[in-house]
Structure 1
Amino acid sequence: MKWSRRDFLKVVAGSGGIGVIGATQVDRLLGLGRKPEGKPIYVPTVCEMCFWRCGVIAKVVDGKVVKLDGHPAHPQSRGKLCARGHGGIGLLYDPDRLKHPLIRVGQRGEGKFKKASWDEALNYVAEKMLKIKETYGPESVALFTHGTISTYFIHLLWAYGSPNLGMPSYALCRGARDIAFKLTFGAPVGNPERADLKNSKVIVLMGFHIGENAHNSMCQEFAEAVGKGATVIVVDPRFSTAASKAKYWLPIKPATDLALLLAWINVIITEGLYDKEYVAKYTEGFDKLAEAVKEYTPQWAEKETDIPVSLIIETARIMGKNKPSVLIHPGRHTAWYGDNTQRVRAIAILTALLGAYGRPGGIYLPPKNPLSEYGFGDFCGVPYPEHQKPEINKGPYPFTEEEGVIPEIIKATLTEKPYPIKGWLITGTNLIKSTPNQRDTIEAIKKLDLVVAVDMMPFDHVLYADVVLPECTYLERYDDIFVVKERSIGLALRQPVVNPMYDTKPGWWIAKELGVRLGLKEYFPYNDFEDFLKAKCEALGLNFEELKQKGYIEIPGTANPYINESSEVKFKTPSGKIELYSKQLEEAGFPPIPTYTKHEQPPKGYFRLIYGRVPVHTFSRTTNNPSLWELMKENAAWLNAKVAKKLGLKNGDYVVLVNQDGVKSNKVKLKVTERIRPDCVYVPHGFGSFSPMLKRAYLNGADDQQLITRYAVDPISGSVGMRINFVKIEKA
């Protein structure tokens, strides 16, 4: 379906035209009407330093970006940027950037390349892909992708004829969460999450690190809620930044979170603290739920979680007392163990019992969207070819979505079952640093006929590529129009603020030129990307020049955050209600109500390896950034102070972590602290790059992913649990 111009214009006509938030303020900030000679010019665009994609105002002087600020009208920035957002300048001017196409001349992994022209590099890739297609079929090429570039390369993959797509953001991060909320409410919780933090009276964070993940607008709303006196409950083995703002820190035993959630549900039901009217009107399966959770008492949960009975009951009562303005945050990285979907299902069920879905302070409803989907496939008007072989990327997991399960593709590459995978396209993701069991990934690469890396920086996986195609940074390119779905629908434009440096190209151009060489020209019916954007704006009834000038435009009348007395809400579940008891799960052979499963605990002398983020870095993608590297050059392994004393270790010592399979980390500095349980070691993710082409990040700190040699796949969603690894500590 194409965008419905008629429906869109109805909305516009009904509200007196398209509204631009804070237009006067934006005009002043952009300096509209200024002449560029000898003066700064201000260009709005969209950040790509992380997936939050904040609105940005770039200050440009004499063709050089000198400052970045948050766009005041964009709801994901609200006039502010995080450290990583400001680091966009560091990315643009990083001397280690990929500067021109490369073709491998050494062995895979050696990082030996020759400089190539774009024609030479693209022809090389196209010839290999056509040969794979002829010999094995198009399904034998797989794509691993992340970020905005995914739009263009997924389109290319599907036009080529392969369904085998893997996105780390799904199976290794949010997949279980999305499936759990769809099973319960009929829709995922959104990206960004529809968390009504600023109106919450109680905020519950379970392993979700607001302030360390630096999700801009969410951090701002969290600060606003804390300033208003919201009660914060943090469940985490580690005293995180968010825990420092909490009234309650529950240092839970890792792998027992579901026990605590089930006990909370037990207390909420047995003490009658649930929203009876809401539950009766909007939910289905309450009686079965009440019966199922009788055994999960606070007394039972105390033995599992190490959380005292009194705290379990007290925190449950606080939630019940403050309903419905309670946010049990669904999290983002939910790939922990083998029961990820059921754990997040318990969060969704607790949210429903408190009447917090679609109510102020809980999870707000998705905005009204007058815009039908209008992607590349719709624009070209040519249907994708039908697949001749079954998709591998979904594996045997019945609720997995098209973003796929990366280990399934890697396994198929290794075994050539159910058919061979012979080519990998890797775009916008450092595959070595994101997938569990790096040894399998590297062994799979050795079996391939073609490995293509499209990226801006020479990350670890680039060393294994046959061809490297350098993408220009987000400050140097156009991208597809972003539909921003916060409380309202808005449209944001990424546009170049400076000309591309070096011999680099936008992702859309790389995909198009490769498509033409693959005989797929009809799927890319534009000569310049502005043609595509102008056509899209015309279909929307928008003025492209105005969007370029303003950077962000909100569609009025689309906010629909809360259930109200006059509205009839129907959930997109089979029953049309919130499903506390899931017949979909039951029919697929899974427990329809979450049941507790025990997980292995660390053997004697070992600690559970847990990992997370830091506010100044986006995983491994910024550890070489000149601006951000100065703020944090290496990570540190957190260890409980009493344990450190027993082991004869002190703060600042360098140690080596050795996992249960004998894999050793680089040396890493020790952070001795009372802020972590004695059975855990915590390591910030993304450090310890082994690519010598990254001169600042090379071998700085420990690579936690290297130690994740084991994983557990959730049988419902295919989510890949990576917190099942244990480490011991040796002096470096």
Structure 2
Amino acid sequence: MTVKLTRRKFLQSATCAAAAVPMARMAQAEQPFVRQPYAAPGSFAGTKSVCGGVCEMCFWRCQLIGKVRDGKLVKLEGNPKSIDNGASLCARGNAGVKLLYDPDRLKYPMKNIGKRGAPVWKRISWQEALDECASRLKAIVDKYEPQGLAIFPHGASAKYPMNFFEHVVGTPNNSEASFFQCRGSRDVAYIQTLGTPAGEEVDMPNAKVIFMLGTHLGENVHVSHLKKYLKGLENGAKLIVVDPRFSASAAKADIWVQIKPGTDTAFLLAIMNYLVQQKKYDMEYVEDFGYGFEEFTVGIEHASLEWAANICDIPAKQIKEVADMLADNAPNVSIHPGRHSSWNGNDFQRERSLACLTGLLGAIGVKGGFVKPKNPKVGRCSWPKVAHPHEHALQHLAEKYPFSPPGTPTDLIRETALTGKPYAIKGLIVWGQNPIQTIPDPALTVKMIEQMDFVVVCDVMPTDITMYADILLPESCYLERYDYVKKGTQWDYSQPHQQYISARVPMVSPTAADHERKDSVWIVNELARRMGYEEHIPAKSAEEMVETILAGADLSLAQLAAEEGIHIQPGVDPYGTQYDVDFNNRKLIDAGFPGVPTYIPVPEPPKGFARLVYGRLPVHSFNRSQNNVWLHQEMPRNPIWINDEVASRLGLNDGDEINLVNQSGVKSPSSSILKVTAGIRKDVIYTAHGYGSKNPQMHVAAGAGLDDNSLITQRAVDPETGTHGMRNNFVRIVKGDTVLDIPG
């Protein structure tokens, strides 16, 4: 039979079908019409949730759950039980799946049979790799004593090897990038002012004003910290942002201070002097908890609004506006201490100023102020401190950097290794750090490496430093190992007080078919046995190490698993803890430094150059995430910011392909694209850090974007702490074969 379907009949039948949908839904309860729901390819149907992960895509370490299908991790999410990050996870955390299954990951031990920097790799067994590492490291210790070794560690898994080489083997030459190229000057400055490290412990959800100086929240994404910040804004906090660039936070600010880079301390001194002169500071807090206040007031009395305005290139009335806003809302103000503080080599003084300003406003231990949470106690499992003489600590021998953070300043290790004075350093262990991209003047770092007798590198990915290894060891990823116990409290202290404890556990089991990766506990224990230190091994495995730490809180991995990966217990009210404020520090005076925070000028850009500054992105963590295909797709290169008026005078357009050359004639090995904007000072060029990998084994990241660290050849060193200052470099633009001067 033939059926003739007219357009009218088709529309009538479609209308009837649409009207019948609700009836069909009702009928399904009794008689299903669809036998099996369709699961689109790539969906998470049929997955199993695995609790207990702790992220390592950045060092905030959010708590995770994983979606696993057939033994393979297909998705990561925030653990909804978490009172830290909750169900939220940033782009980097989500992309951890692609790190786990990155085809470029290091798979097995390798020996370099070529040259350092131009390696020729030969696959070797773990036994051969460990035997050679142990024998060559021990030979250096026997010949040069323990101080003949240096270790550059970074990350959670690097703590175990760091403590082995420092505490048991006995080398003092341990330099963590997290201290000497990041937050060391901040933490030491707060210790010397308030008696406690800064952390980022400001109670932003309950603040009336949030004050940020060079802090890029919204670009530097740490989930729970960002939640604190956004909750504060949601609750009506006013925002002051001091930054030469119109950052994501500057875009939300009530007051944006477009300060001249390197002059921040002068700005802070003027605010404090104004508060003192106008008697707008917290006199009661200063009377009860302040020390050296009279000397402090004399030491800053020169810092008038006009003095600072001239130095900082901002209006005096804006400095007054900032000071008045802080005073009018004190003590409920969050003076953010920042995180990465290695800017100009005068950073200790700037951070001391921030701590003094916090005390001056009485913004300590109160809602909205500097409030340190009361974290739960856990156990400890680490290498014992074997007795070793301390006379080989370089900062003591050189009589430099008397207030250095834990470890040894990177610059002293490098200088000693290159000169052989006061002793030889001939062995280098690098664990999870990429000194080629983290330490300023990378050419000098390469020279240091070239004179080593032996270099061993352990990492997850083939970063630039791996090209200089003699032996290369593959480490298991954070998603397939035990190694870290995270503890803390809820991020909004005005809410019911709770504490949490969680542990990093494997989301999936490593597959032995395609690799031979090992965790740091296994690797270091094997080295210890071969080097004669077996008696000091604190744990037989990473799992045992974590169990021992948890036992200190009467917990176990089994109990955490039963509690969905996170143990939560009643907490302690963090408000009310007050700290003494050392406005005029006698220890500093005795060591030959100013007791009162002091402005130290930084070098000015030469004619034709702009100051190079750098920052972070929400989709990347330094260089460590650059090869991640998901994150690379979001931002494959780092735009180079330039002022729109400067660009117009140079004939440059948004999106132009350019490069940069610095004051020493060093040009970045790779280029990037130009971002023309009114949101940056004319004397500044900005880009995001971490791009421009040089190792061809990083097939996604190699040559992608501009390497800012290659341009940081003129380094400054903070005289109190030995931390690096990396924003005293100046650049011109290269377009094609033409070098363009930045107009004054």
TM-score when normalising by structure 1: 0.90
Q: Match for 1:713 among 711, 717, 725?
A: 717
Aligned AA (2:63): G
Q: Which residue of 2 aligns with 1:375?
A: 381
What CA distance in whole angstroms lies between the structure 1 residues aligned with 2:55 and 2:87? 13
What CA distance in whole angstroms lies between the structure 2 residues aligned with 1:632 and 1:81? 18
Does structure 1 residue 282 correspond to structure 2 residue 289? Answer: yes
What CA distance in whole angstroms lies between the structure 2 residues aligned with 1:649 and 1:334? 32
What CA distance in whole angstroms lies between the structure 1 residues aligned with 2:604 and 2:505? 50
Q: How does 1:547-696 map to 2 (within 5 A)?
A: 547-549=560-562, 550-557=564-571, 559-563=572-576, 569=578, 571=579, 577-665=580-668, 666-696=670-700
- Residue by residue over 1:219-259, the C-alpha shift from the partner in whole angstroms, topping out at 9 and shown as x without a partner, is 11111111122111111110001111111111101111111
Q: Match for 1:519 among 510, 525, 532?
A: 532
Aligned AA (1:243): A
Secondary structure, in 3 states, of the residue corresponding to 1:540? coil
What CA distance in whole angstroms lies between the structure 2 residues aligned with 1:388 and 1:200? 45
Contact 1:357-1:365 within 8 A present in 2 as well: no
Q: Match for 2:139 among 131, 134, 147?
A: 131
Deviation of residue 300 (structure 1)? 1.1
Q: Which residue of 2 aligns with 1:230?
A: 237
Q: Which residue of 2 aligns with 1:270?
A: 277
Deviation of residue 392 (structure 1)? 2.5
Structure 2 runs not aligned, ≥5 long = 1-43, 737-744
Contact 1:164-1:393 within 8 A present in 2 as well: no
Q: Match for 2:386 among 375, 380, 384?
A: 384
Aligned AA (1:604): K
Q: Match for 1:94 among 94, 99, 102?
A: 102
Contact 2:185-2:405 within 8 A present in 1 as well: no
Deviation of residue 131 (structure 1)? 0.8
1:283–1:369 Cα change, 3 Å: farther
Contact 1:195-1:363 within 8 A present in 2 as well: yes
What CA distance in whole angstroms lies between the structure 1 residues aligned with 2:645 and 2:217? 27
Q: Which residue of 2 aligns with 1:541?
A: 554
Aligned AA (2:570): P
Contact 1:654-1:669 within 8 A present in 2 as well: yes
Higher mean displacement: 149-158 or 385-394: 385-394
What CA distance in whole angstroms lies between the structure 2 residues aligned with 1:225 and 1:556? 24
Higher mean displacement: 392-401 or 248-257: 392-401
Q: Which residue of 2 aligns with 1:201?
A: 208
Q: Match for 2:173 among 139, 164, 184?
A: 164
What CA distance in whole angstroms lies between the structure 2 residues aligned with 1:534 and 1:621? 29
- Residue by residue over 1:121-145, the C-alpha shift from the partner in whole angstroms, topping out at 9 and shown as x without a partner, is 1111011011111111121111001
Contact 1:199-1:325 within 8 A present in 2 as well: yes
1:334–1:125 Cα change, 3 Å: same
Contact 1:165-1:393 within 8 A present in 2 as well: no
1:536–1:336 Cα change, 3 Å: closer
1:498–1:307 Cα change, 3 Å: same
Higher mean displacement: 412-421 or 479-488: 479-488
What CA distance in whole angstroms lies between the structure 2 residues aligned with 1:480 and 1:51? 12
Q: Match for 2:122 among 89, 99, 114?
A: 114
What CA distance in whole angstroms lies between the structure 1 residues aligned with 2:558 and 2:702? 43
Contact 1:483-1:490 within 8 A present in 2 as well: yes
Q: Which residue of 1 aligns with 2:55?
A: 47
Deviation of residue 670 (structure 1)? 0.8
Aligned AA (2:553): L
What CA distance in whole angstroms lies between the structure 2 residues aligned with 1:39 and 1:350? 52
Q: How does 1:385-464 map to 2 (within 5 A)?
A: 385-387=387-389, 390-392=392-394, 396-464=400-468
Q: Which residue of 1 aligns with 2:15?
A: none
Q: Which residue of 1 aligns with 2:363?
A: 356
Deviation of residue 111 (structure 1)? 2.8
Secondary structure, in 3 states, of the residue corresponding to 1:149? helix
Runs of 4+ in 1 over 4 A off after TM superposition: 36-39, 368-371, 485-489
Deviation of residue 540 (structure 1)? 2.9
Deviation of residue 339 (structure 1)? 1.4
Q: Match for 2:728 among 721, 724, 727?
A: 724
1:124–1:389 Cα change, 3 Å: farther
What CA distance in whole angstroms lies between the structure 2 residues aligned with 1:655 and 1:539? 55
1:615–1:272 Cα change, 3 Å: same
Q: Match for 1:184 among 174, 193, 201?
A: 193
Deviation of residue 302 (structure 1)? 0.9
Contact 2:49-2:65 within 8 A present in 1 as well: no
Aligned AA (2:566): Y
Secondary structure, in 3 states, of the residue corresponding to 1:609? strand
Deviation of residue 484 (structure 1)? 3.3
1:37–1:232 Cα change, 3 Å: closer
Does structure 1 residue 493 correspond to structure 2 residue 500? Answer: no
Secondary structure, in 3 states, of the residue corresponding to 1:165? coil
What CA distance in whole angstroms lies between the structure 1 residues aligned with 2:219 and 2:300? 34
Contact 1:99-1:503 within 8 A present in 2 as well: yes
TM-score when normalising by structure 2: 0.89
- Residue by residue over 1:80-102, the C-alpha shift from the partner in whole angstroms, topping out at 9 and shown as x without a partner, is 11111111101001111111111
Aligned AA (1:126): A
- Residue by residue over 1:521-543, the C-alpha shift from the partner in whole angstroms, topping out at 9 and shown as x without a partner, is 11225433333333343343224
Aligned AA (2:508): V
Q: Which residue of 2 aligns with 1:530?
A: 543
Aligned AA (2:567): I
Secondary structure, in 3 states, of the residue corresponding to 1:658? strand
Aligned AA (2:155): G
Contact 1:166-1:393 within 8 A present in 2 as well: no
1:585–1:669 Cα change, 3 Å: same
- Residue by residue over 1:35-63, the C-alpha shift from the partner in whole angstroms, topping out at 9 and shown as x without a partner, is x9965232221001011011111111111
Q: Which residue of 2 aligns with 1:702?
A: 706
Q: Which residue of 1 aligns with 2:520?
A: 507
Aligned AA (1:454): C
What CA distance in whole angstroms lies between the structure 1 residues aligned with 2:644 and 2:354? 32
What CA distance in whole angstroms lies between the structure 2 residues aligned with 1:227 and 1:39? 36
Q: Which residue of 2 aligns with 1:469?
A: 473
What CA distance in whole angstroms lies between the structure 1 residues aligned with 2:605 and 2:545? 54
Deviation of residue 497 (structure 1)? 1.1
% identical equivalent positions: 41
What CA distance in whole angstroms lies between the structure 2 residues aligned with 1:653 and 1:608? 20
What CA distance in whole angstroms lies between the structure 2 residues aligned with 1:403 and 1:139? 13
- Residue by residue over 1:191-229, the C-alpha shift from the partner in whole angstroms, topping out at 9 and shown as x without a partner, is xx2121111111111111001110111111111111122
What CA distance in whole angstroms lies between the structure 2 residues aligned with 1:370 and 1:690? 43
Structure 1 runs not aligned, ≥5 long = 1-35, 572-576
Contact 1:393-1:409 within 8 A present in 2 as well: no
Does structure 1 residue 59 correspond to structure 2 residue 73? Answer: no
Deviation of residue 156 (structure 1)? 1.6
Contact 1:173-1:335 within 8 A present in 2 as well: yes
1:719–1:75 Cα change, 3 Å: farther
Secondary structure, in 3 states, of the residue corresponding to 1:717? coil
1:150–1:75 Cα change, 3 Å: farther
Rg: which structure is higher? 2
Deviation of residue 401 (structure 1)? 2.5
What CA distance in whole angstroms lies between the structure 1 residues aligned with 2:556 and 2:544? 13
Contact 1:170-1:404 within 8 A present in 2 as well: no
